Amino acid sequence: MYLTVLGINHRTAPVEVRGQVAFPPESLQRALGELKALDGIQEAAILSTCNRTELYLNQDTEIVGQIPEWLCRFHQLEPASLQPHLYTYKESEAVRHILRVAAGLDSMVLGEPQILGQMKDSYQHALQIGSIDTLVNRLFQHTFSVAKQIRTDTAIGSSPVSVAFAAVSLARQIFGQLENQTALLIGAGEPIELAARHLHDQGMGKMVIANRTVSRAHDLAAQFNGYGIELDEIPAHLAEADIVISSTGSSTPILTRKLVKQALVSRKHRPVLMVDIAVPADIEADVATLDDIYLYSIDDLKNVIEDNLRSRQEAAQQAEEIIDVQVDRFMAWTRSLDAVPTVCAYREYAQSLAAAELKKARNQLRNGKPAPEVLDTLTHNLVNKLTHNPCVNLRGAVAEGETGVLDAMRTLFQLKVNDSK
| Closest C-alpha among 234, 246, 238 to residue 267 | 238
Residues with Cβ within 8 Å of residue 150, at least 6 apart in sequence: 103, 156, 319, 322, 323
**What is the SS3 assignment for 67?**
helix
Please report, to the nearest 10 degrees, the dihedral formed by the alpha carbons of residues 237, 240, 242, 247 taken in order: 0
Residue 179, helix vs strand vs coil: coil
Give catalytic status of residue 50 as yes or no. yes
Which segments of 367-403 does DSSP mark as H helices, in order?
371-399
Residue type, 310: R
Task: Pick the closest to residue 45 from 15, 6, 101, 96 (CA basis).
Answer: 6
Residues in the chain, overall count: 421
- 3 state DSSP class of 295: strand
Q: Which of 50, 72, 344, 391 is catalytic?
A: 50
Residue type, 287: V
Distance CA 283, CA 342 (A): 73
Angle at 158 between CA 282 and CA 316, to 5 degrees: 115
CB 118 within 8 A of CB 278: no
Between CA 302 and CA 285 the distance in angstroms is 17
d(CA 251, CA 281): 8
| Under 8 Å between Cβ of 97 and 88 | no
> What are the Cα distances from residue 395, in Å, to 18, 350, 416, 421?
63, 21, 18, 17
Q: Which amino acid is at 355?
A: A
Which amino acid is residue 122, in one-letter code? S
The set of catalytic residues is 50
